[in-house]
Every structure is written in C-alpha cells, then in structure tokens.
Amino acid sequence: GFVPFKQLISEMDQVSDDLIAVSLAIVVDVGDAPRIEDQRFKMAQCVFKIDHHIPVYDFGHHAWIDTDALAVSLMIARFVRLYHMKLTPMGANALALGLITDSGRFLFGQVTGETFSLMSDLIGFGATLPDIYRILYEKTFEQMAFQSYVYQHYETNDAGLIYVILTSDELKNLGITAERASSKVNLLAQVKNYHIWTFFAESAEGYRCEIRSDGIDIQAVASKFGGGGHQQASGCLLKSKTLIPNVIDELVIKLREHA
Amino acid sequence: GFVPFKQLISEMDQVSDDLIAVSLAIVVDVGDAPRIEDQRFKMAQCVFKIDHHIPVYDFGHHAWIDTDALAVSLMIARFVRLYHMKLTPMGANALALGLITDSGRFLFGQVTGETFSLMSDLIGFGATLPDIYRILYEKTFEQMAFQSYVYQHYETNDAGLIYVILTSDELKNLGITAERASSKVNLLAQVKNYHIWTFFAESAEGYRCEIRSDGIDIQAVASKFGGGGHQQASGCLLKSKTLIPNVIDELVIKLREHA
C-alpha cells in the first residue's frame, strides 16, 4: 500500500511456507483475492476474511464483512472493546492508522460518535497520533508543486463533475508516480457545487482512475470499467485514454439522475 | 470571527442594555478585552471569563483559565460531562465547531483520548459533523487559486522557517482579504524540515502576521511585536513592511536555539 506502514509499525515478519501450511490466515481489508500482497494465503489451513469492501468475488473459508463499516480497523476496534481485549501500542497504532486514513481524518460521512469513542480507546492503548500524522501528512516541495499544478489544471462539467487528467509526461515533470498522484484525488473534494471528483493519471498500464463523491453512488461506474470499491470511493484502470470521455459521460449521467 | 457561525448555529440574540445591566456576562475564548465583540459586557453586574489563551491583561470579576486546554469548547464539554448536564443539538454543534477548528480537525499536538471521547459525547447530543464540515471546508475556485499561489511563492530559510509575504495588490488579484488569507497559514504546516511557518499579509493597517510551529514556543516573538496567542500559534500586526525581516530574524534565532 501507499502508507509507509513499516515506519510506524514495523517490518513484516518473514514467515515460512511450512508455518503457513499449519496456520489460520486472516486476510483484512481486501475484497479481491488477486490484490492480496502475499498470495501464499492460499496455502493456509483456513482462510478468514475481514473486510468492508463491496465483495467482488468470494474467497476464503469464513468471512466477516460489513460494507457499512468505515474501516476494517473500526470493526476490529469494536471487537476488541466487545471482548474486553487489550492492545499493545503497536497494535493500537496500526488500528488508529487505518481509522484515520479510511475516514480522511474524521472527515467522511460515515464518521459517528462511535468512531471517536473507539479512537479514544486506541489512544488509551498507546496509539501516538503525532507519529501517525507526521508520517501521513509530512509535505514535500514536490507534493506542494503537484497540488499547485492540480489547482491550475482541473476541468469541470456543469453537471457537477470536477476532474484532472495527468499524462505520464506531466507526472514525470512533477516527480510523482501515477499511483501516488491518483491517491491524492481528494485534492478536488468539497469544491462548492461539484459532487463527484475524479483523477485520471497515466501509468504504464493505462489511466488510473480514482472517483469520489459526496453522496452519489459511483461504484457501479467504476465496476463498468473493470474496477470497484465503495459507494462513494471507487477506482478503475482504463486501458486507453479514449475511455476517459466514456467515464465522464457515465458520471455526468449519475449526476443528472441525482440533480 | 471568520467562522460562518450563524450558518450553523443561529443569529446572535439582540440583547438590550437594560437586560445586560442585570445579567452575568460570560466571556469565552478571548484573552484581551478590546477584542470582545460586544463591548457592553462591561455593563454587566458580573463578568466571568472562560479562556485558554495566555492572558494579556486581566479583565472581569472571575475567571476560569486553562492555558493547557486545546479549546474553550473542550473546557465546557468537560464541565458538561462532570456535572452530567445535557446539551441541545445547537449547543453541541457550537462546541463541536470549536473543538474541530481549534484542533485543526484533531490534528494538533494537544489532541488526546479525552478530546475524542468528548467529541463522541457531543455527537451523542446531536452535533452534526457533515453540516460543520460543509461550512468549514467547502472550497471555492478562488481558494484553490490562492492555495496554488502560496505553493508557488513561499520562501524558506535554512534554519527551518517557511513563509510567504502577500502584498495587498496580490491579495486583491486573488480576491481574498488579508484576514482570510492569514487564517490559511497552515497551508505551510508540516513541510518536511520546516518547523516554523508564517504568513505576512498586507492590510490597510499594516502586515498581519500569523506564526505557527510544531513545537518551538513562538508566542514571545509575537508578543515582542505587539501580538500574542498560544505557544505554537500566535500572531501580531506589523505597522510596516520593514519589520518583516526583524520577525524573520527573531524566528530564526528561536529555530537555532532548538536545533
């Protein structure tokens, strides 16, 4: 993932195939088996999935899926509270990191009183917000230049769509990868009168497309182009630039339906 | 203030001089009597101050001051909890608004488990985060242009200072007031290796200077130039542009002391 996890938590353990073969694999926060980082999960005796994404297809033997949950971290923090369990500071930091990133630092619509209450639990277990924030939010001059660029090159559609198309040449000049660039889609969030915001960033495989909305369900549009995600936060990979107008058309239809 | 309070809470009540003369005035969140919006507080039978700023000079008959508190809203939310009081949704929104703005949406160093726990209480009383966020964070094209401008025109000092100087001509072109511009000082927060960030924005009275730090106490520097505030968030008004290098020198001295 794009969160520098090891800076905050630790390096991943190296686990042998033999150990995996006698283990329970718990797979978290991924709806789609090919996206699992260590594909050896398939060798485990039993696979248990904990997730909040809209399932793309099923895998594993057991699953705990709550598509209404803000974050898998929140589901686990709930579980910890329910069973009066304790967390180490490292565990609390991992869950806090998930809660903060999946909620846009307590910004998104699914944040409730329970979110704050569970966050308070995590701090009680030793989660250190300054460490998390320093890693998540530290700005570099390159990032500031990128943000400035986006704010000078966005395009708009009167239906309520705001978007930016970033070619690989532009990204190269700005010193940012397509993956990192598209993760910044919320730079175009919360613009007055614009209810869907989208980044199209060119990579070797095509155009990475990230779509967000403040209420309109855009997951179906991402699915139509081979992607998926959440109702208000989805993405897909477009094989060709010629598909961009098609995505825009579909999003404009969604906007007009909700106008 | 710059928060569109009345959009969220309501209009201020119109209170007669006669009513004030038989009333207790509770003054919140202001360390400095001249900055109180309705100066008729002086006519009240008794003046009670609740504040978290470093006192500039005393006023009022009684005071509850906690300079360690993140926000006066937090002090009041604590009081509500301690005495098992209840809040209306309007009251809860007012306190939540204060907690969110004074904490930079749960970003700043003073945020603790209690902050989140009290926020959970406020949501329980009916605070509506989406309403608060919509008002606080709605972006306009003008704001995006301003941000872009700042990210192209900042200056840096190797000691760890990053700042921008905005003349009244520039602000006029960008369509933003000096007050509003200087309230955006945190655009330059959390830049890697830069521990103090400052906006100088020209107004009719001189240069509004807002100073923030990620740990270094800069309140004394603001005081030296006739201002004040908090240890890591202070401001002052400079009568002349020629004072800007002096402020920069003082801040660089602070940075070198802490290097």
Res B149: pLDDT? 97
In angstroms, the CA A92 to CA A74 distance is 11
Judge: domain A5-135, CATH 1.10.357.140: no
What is the arithmetic mean of pLDDT over A228-255? 95
Whether residue B219 is predicted with pLDDT greater than 60 in this model: the reply is yes
- Mutation choice for B interface testing from A151, A186, A195 by most B CBs within 10 A: A151
**pLDDT tens, position by position, B4-32:** 566 677 778 899 999 999 999 999 998 77
> Which chain B residue's Cα is nearest to A114?
B120
What is the arithmetic mean of pLDDT over A101-106? 93
Res A129: pLDDT? 94
What is the arithmetic mean of pLDDT over B27-53? 90
Report chain B residues touching chain A, CB-CB < 8 A: 105-107, 109, 111-114, 116-117, 119-121, 123-124, 129-130, 133-134, 137-141, 144-145, 147-148, 151-152, 154, 189-192
- Exposure string for B54-88, b = 16+ CB within 10 A, e = fewer: eebeebbeeebbeeebbbbbbbbbeebeeeeeebe
Please report, for chain B, the start and end positions of each structural domain, with discontinuous segments joined by +: 5-135, 141-258
A190, B147: Cβ pair inside 8 Å? Answer: no
Complex ipTM, two decimals?
A: 0.83
Q: Report the half-sphere exposure of B213 (CA within 13 A, side-chain side).
A: 22
Can you read off the two tokens belonging to residue B62?
A: 């009684």
Higher pLDDT, A109 or A170: A170
Fold of A141-258: Diaminopimelate Epimerase; Chain A, domain 1 (3.10.310)
**pLDDT tens, position by position, B104-131:** 999 988 899 999 999 999 999 999 999 9
Q: What's the gap in Å between the CA of B154 and the closest CA on chain A?
A: 10
What is the arithmetic mean of pLDDT over A177-190? 93
**pLDDT tens, position by position, B140-199:** 999 999 999 999 999 999 999 999 999 999 999 999 999 999 999 999 999 999 999 999
What is the arithmetic mean of pLDDT over A74-98? 96
Beta strand B233-238 pairing with A196-203: unpaired
Whether residue A114 is predicted with pLDDT greater than 80 in this model: the reply is yes
Q: Of A32, A29, A5, whose CA–CA distance to A237 is shortest?
A: A32
- Exposure string for B108-146, b = 16+ CB within 10 A, e = fewer: beebebbbbbbbbbbbbbebebeebbeeeeebeeebbbb
Higher pLDDT, A36 or B65: B65
pLDDT-derived band at A3, boundaries 50, 70, 90: low
Concatenate the DSSP letters of all residues of B173-233 into one string: HHT--HHHHHTTGGGGTTBTT--EEEEEEEETTEEEEEEEESSS--HHHHHHTT-EE-SSE
